[in-house]
Structure 1
Amino acid sequence: MKFRLNRNESKQQRSLTPWEEYQAQAAEQRKRANAPKWIHKARRIGDKLPRLKHQRNRKLIRRLAILLTSFTVVILAMVYLLSPLSHFQTVTVTGAQALSAKQVETATRVRTGDSIFQVVGHEQQLARRAVKRNSRLKAVSIAFRQPNKVTVHVTEFATAGYVMKQNRYYEVLENGVVSQQSVDQPKSGTPVYGQFKKAQTLHQMILQYAKLDSEIKSSISEIQDSPTKQNPNRIHLFMNDGNEVYASIPNFAKKMAFYPSIAGKMKAKGVVNLEVGAYSYAFKK
C-alpha cells in the first residue's frame, strides 16, 4: 500500500497543474530575491568575463597593429631618406639664353644632389625668390618629375641696349636694370643709349623701347636724350638705315610703330619727326 502511494506521489510531481507551476516559479524568484547581493554580482561578472576578455584581446591586437605599422613607416622613411632616390639625380634648365644653367641653379637654389623635400611643396616660393636674386629672370617655374628629377624653366628679360660709361658698354635689360658687367663691344641689333643724365629718364625710355616690335627694335642704332624747353622728353634716334628720328618718350612706342611705313615712302634719307603728328623731310645738302 505504501509502494502505491509513492508511485502516486511521483505521478503528481511529474504532472503539475498550471497553478502549481506558477507557485513554484514564484517561490524560486523569491528565493533568488532573498539571496545575498554578492551572489547576484558574481553571476553578472561571470556572465561578462568572456565578453571583457574578447574586448581586451581586440584592443591589444589593435594597439599592436598600430605600433607595427608606425614602426614600419618610420623604418621605410629612414631608408628612403638615406637612399639616392630622395635626392635630385638631374636638374634640367630650359629657356635660358643669356644665363647659364649654373647661374639659374644658383638663383633658384635647386641643384643636383639636393634633397627632394627642399623643393617639393616649395616650388612657387623658390621661383619668387629666384626672380629677386637675379634681375635678368623675368619668370621661373619649377616642376618635380618623379622619381628624382626636376625641371626649371626660365624666362629672361631681353637686352634693351647698352649704356656707355668710361669707354665701356654696360648691358641694359628691358626691365630697366643696368648690368654691373661691361663688354668691349655691344651686341648687334640693340641700341646704345647716350646723353641720359637722369636714371629715371633712361628707365622710362627703356620701358618704351621694350614695347616695340622686334623688327623696329633691331633697326635702331643709337638713342640719345635731347630735351628742349618746349619738349623736355625729346629723344634723338639714329637708325641703321641712315635716317634720324625725333620723338617723345611718353608716346615713343605708339608713334614709332608708324616708322616703317613713313620710311618706306621717303625718296631720300632724312629726318622723321614724331613729336607732334608724324612727318618727314630729307637731309639738307
Structure 2
Amino acid sequence: MGDRKVVSVHDRIPALREQRKKRANRRVILTISTFFLLIGIVVYFQSPLSHIRSIEVDGVVTGEEGEVTVKSGLTTGESIWAADLNSAESGVEELPYVMSASISRSFPTTLHIDVQERERVAYLEENGSFVPVYANGESMPDQSLDQLPGDAPILYGWEDKSQLDMFLSELEELEDGVANHISEVHPVNRDNDVLRLYMNDGIEVETYINNFAEYMSTYSLVAEELNSSEPGILHMKMSPYFETFANPEEEEENGEEEENTEA
C-alpha cells in the first residue's frame, strides 16, 4: 500500500473533459462530412457529371460500331446509372452476327460494349453479290461483298430456307479442316437434298444434306488416295467411291468407230 500512487479526482477532470471534447468534435466532423457527401451525391446524380459522354464498342469486325450502338438503345446525355444495361445487351444480341454482348460502366461517364461475333459459315450468291450467312441461319444483305470471298464456302442456287438451315447446321458440325476445303456448294436437284461441292484442291464431290457432316468427315483421308488429275466425281456417302469421267478423246474415237460400222 505504501508504493501505490493515488491520483486526485481534481487532477483527472481536465483529461476527461479533453476526451469528451475530442469525441464531440469527431461526431461533428462525421455529421458534417456525411451531410456534404449526401449533398455531393445528389448534385452528381442531378447534374451532367453523371451523364454518358462516350460509348465505346469493342470486338466488332463484321458489322458497324454505330449499328451496335443504335441497337443498344444507349445514348449520350442520359444518366449512366439510369441506363438499363441488361436491356441494352439484349438489343445488341438481336443483330444476326452477334453471339453475345456485355456492357459495363467505366467511371465517370463512359460505357463499354464488348461484342462477340458469330462466325461467317458461308456466303449466299445473289445476283453477283455474296451475302454472309451465320451459323444461326441469319444473313446480312447489307454486308454483301462484290468480290469473291475466300473465308467460307459460297452457296449457289439455294431457294429452300428450311434446307438451307439444315445444311448450315450440318456445316457447323463439320471440322474446320474439312469445311475450309469447300469452295462452292450447288444443289443438284429441286429438293436441294443432293449437293455438288467444288473443293479447293480441285476435287468435285457429290453428297447429301442429311448426314452431311458425317459423310464429309472422312474427306481428307479419302482425298489423299485419289489421283487429283483424273477427272471424275467423288461420292461422299455411306461408302465413299470415285466415279471416273470418260476421256473426251476416247468418246470421240468410239463415236467415229460406231459411225464407220454403221456406214
TM-score between both structures, scaled by the size of structure 1: 0.64
Equivalent in the alignment of 1:10: none
1:274 aligns with 2:236: yes
Tell me: CA distance 1:254–1:276, structure 2 relative to 1, closer, same or farther (3 Å).
closer
- Give the secondary-structure state (helix, strand or coil) at the position aligned to 1:241: coil
Equivalent in the alignment of 1:47: none
Which 5+ residue runs of structure 2 have no aligned equivalent? 1-31, 248-263
Mapped to 2, the partners of 1:276 and 1:163 lie a distance apart of 28
Out of 56, 59, 76, the residue aligned to residue 92 of structure 1 is 56
What is the identity, as a one-letter code, of the residue corresponding to 2:157?
Q
- Give the secondary-structure state (helix, strand or coil) at the position aligned to 1:267: coil
**Bigger mean CA deviation after superposition, 237-246 or 81-90:** 81-90
Equivalent in the alignment of 1:265: 225
- Give the secondary-structure state (helix, strand or coil) at the position aligned to 1:202: helix
Q: How does 1:103-182 map to 2 (within 5 A)?
A: 103-119=67-83, 122-132=84-94, 134-181=95-142, 182=144
Mapped to 2, the partners of 1:247 and 1:198 lie a distance apart of 17
Kindly, what percent of the aligned residue pairs are identical? 24
1:236 aligns with 2:200: no
Mapped to 2, the partners of 1:252 and 1:262 lie a distance apart of 15
Q: In 2, are the aligned partners of 1:189 and 1:219 still within 8 Å (CA)?
A: no
What do the CA deviations read for 1:134-171 (whole angstroms, capped 9, x no partner)? 22211111122333333211122222222223333322
Tell me: CA distance 1:232–1:137, structure 2 relative to 1, closer, same or farther (3 Å).
closer
1:223 aligns with 2:148: no
Q: In 1, are the aligned partners of 2:215 and 2:238 still within 8 Å (CA)?
A: no
Tell me: CA distance 1:186–1:206, structure 2 relative to 1, closer, same or farther (3 Å).
farther
Equivalent in the alignment of 1:186: 148
Mapped to 2, the partners of 1:232 and 1:175 lie a distance apart of 19
Larger RCO: Structure 1 or Structure 2 (Cα < 8 Å, ≥ 6 residues apart)?
2
1:197 aligns with 2:159: yes
- Give the secondary-structure state (helix, strand or coil) at the position aligned to 2:93: helix
- The structure that is helix-richer by fraction is 1
What is the identity, as a one-letter code, of the residue corresponding to 1:203?
D
- CA shift, 1:184, in A, is 2.0
Q: In 2, are the aligned partners of 1:159 and 1:173 still within 8 Å (CA)?
A: yes
1:101 aligns with 2:61: no
Which 5+ residue runs of structure 1 have no aligned equivalent? 1-67
Equivalent in the alignment of 2:251: none
Q: In 1, are the aligned partners of 2:72 and 2:87 still within 8 Å (CA)?
A: no
- Give the secondary-structure state (helix, strand or coil) at the position aligned to 1:178: coil
What do the CA deviations read for 1:29-49 (whole angstroms, capped 9, x no partner)? xxxxxxxxxxxxxxxxxxxxx
- Give the secondary-structure state (helix, strand or coil) at the position aligned to 2:237: coil
Equivalent in the alignment of 1:65: none
Question: Superposition RMSD on alpha carbons, in Å?
Answer: 2.8
Equivalent in the alignment of 2:43: 79
Tell me: CA distance 1:202–1:177, structure 2 relative to 1, closer, same or farther (3 Å).
same
What is the identity, as a one-letter code, of the residue corresponding to 1:239?
M
Tell me: CA distance 1:265–1:103, structure 2 relative to 1, closer, same or farther (3 Å).
same
- The structure with more radius of gyration: 1
Q: In 2, are the aligned partners of 1:195 and 1:226 still within 8 Å (CA)?
A: no
Mapped to 2, the partners of 1:186 and 1:110 lie a distance apart of 36
What is the identity, as a one-letter code, of the residue corresponding to 2:181?
S
Aligned residues: 213
TM-score between both structures, scaled by the size of structure 2: 0.69
